């Protein structure tokens, strides 16, 4: 939707000042929500998760690196993917700029995925990233934090993602082409993304994105917060800019790519 054309500066200023009051109210509301996140109850994590990192095998406590807080981005990169999820990759393009600041403010930051560490590090090198990335392969970490589901859960309707249960998949769909998944006469948006990871749709969507926060208190790890789906919008840097562009998000489908693939298709 385009605003009024050929408006006077005075008319623009009046509309802008009215909008500014709404923006300020949104900021105040956002500050209040942030405080409520901090006040959520803590759940003690007693299960011993193990991760493969560049420094060797590590526990969840080890990921804190001497800090009292830990933020984990659940990056969609399953063992069958040939490349990371392009949506997660777009979000991760901003990680290099801020993770060093978090680490110097008592907050450890890690991306965690199910793919083997060698595959994760190879993709990180391709993307020219440097943020810490750990493999949770062989552990229940992704399952326990609701960002990975089995084929059986998919078929039986036992997937609970973003605090909602999803309907069952009507039939096994491994090996189906992208076009056969939802739209027999064309490629679905989710199919386009799955193709960018080298998988079919059911394999792709068994991994999910999310963010989780943990706190280390007297040597014990506590889970404080997790968010999924549109709850990650605030972490997706390009959308914060697009929301301020004249045409906004201006989307009609999947337009983003891995940043090294633009202009190559």
Q: What is the pLDDT of residues 20-61, one digit of tens each?
A: 999 999 999 999 999 999 999 999 999 999 999 999 999 999
Rounded average pLDDT over 71-80: 98
* Tokens linked to 168: 């069952």
Residues 162-211 have pLDDT tens digits of 999 999 976 545 444 434 444 433 457 899 999 999 999 999 999 999 99
Tell me the H-state helices in 44-147.
60-63, 86-92, 95-103, 117-127, 141-144
Asked if the model's pLDDT at residue 71 lies above 80, the reply is: yes
Judging by beta carbons within 10 Å of its beta carbon (0-12, 13-18, 19+), is residue 93 exposed, middle or buried?
middle
**Predicted pLDDT of residue 170:** 65
Are the C-beta atoms of residues 107 and 67 closer than 8 Å to each other?
A: yes
In the DSSP assignment, the letter for residue 193 is H
Parallel/antiparallel/unpaired status of strands 133-135 and 107-113: parallel
Whether 133 and 111 have beta carbons less than 8 Å apart is answered as yes
For 248, other C-beta atoms within 10 Å of its C-beta total 11
pLDDT tens digits, one per residue of 237-258: 999 999 999 999 999 889 999 9
Give the CA-trace dihedral at 212, 188, 256, 120, to 10 degrees. 50
Tens-place pLDDT, residues 213-235: 999 999 999 999 999 999 999 99
């Amino acid at each position: 939707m385009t605003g009024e054309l050929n408006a006077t500066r005075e008319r623009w200023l009046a509309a802008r000042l009215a909008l500014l009051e709404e923006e300020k109210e949104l900021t105040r509301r956002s500050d209040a929500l942030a405080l409520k996140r901090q006040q959520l109850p803590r759940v003690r994590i007693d299960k011993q998760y193990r991760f493969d990192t560049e420094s060797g095998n590590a526990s969840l406590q080890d990921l804190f690196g001497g800090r009292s807080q830990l933020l984990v981005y659940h990056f969609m990169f399953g063992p069958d993917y040939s490349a990371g999820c392009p949506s997660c990759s777009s979000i991760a393009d901003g990680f290099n700029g801020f993770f060093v600041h978090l680490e110097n403010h008592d907050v450890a930051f890690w991306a965690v995925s199910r793919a083997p560490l060698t595959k994760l590090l190879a993709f990180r090198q391709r993307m020219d990233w440097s943020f810490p990335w750990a493999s949770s392969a062989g552990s229940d970490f992704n399952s326990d934090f609701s960002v990975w589901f089995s084929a059986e859960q998919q078929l039986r309707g036992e997937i609970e993602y973003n605090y909602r249960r999803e309907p069952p998949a009507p039939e096994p769909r491994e090996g189906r082409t992208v076009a056969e998944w939802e739209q027999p006469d064309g490629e679905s948006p989710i199919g386009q993304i799955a193709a960018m990871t080298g998988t079919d749709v059911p394999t792709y969507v068994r991994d999910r994105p999310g963010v989780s926060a943990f706190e280390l208190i007297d040597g014990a790890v506590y889970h404080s917060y997790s968010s999924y789906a549109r709850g990650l919008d605030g972490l997706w840097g390009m959308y914060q800019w697009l929301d301020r562009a004249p045409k906004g998000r201006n989307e009609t489908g999947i337009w983003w790519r891995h940043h090294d693939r633009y202009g190559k298709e």
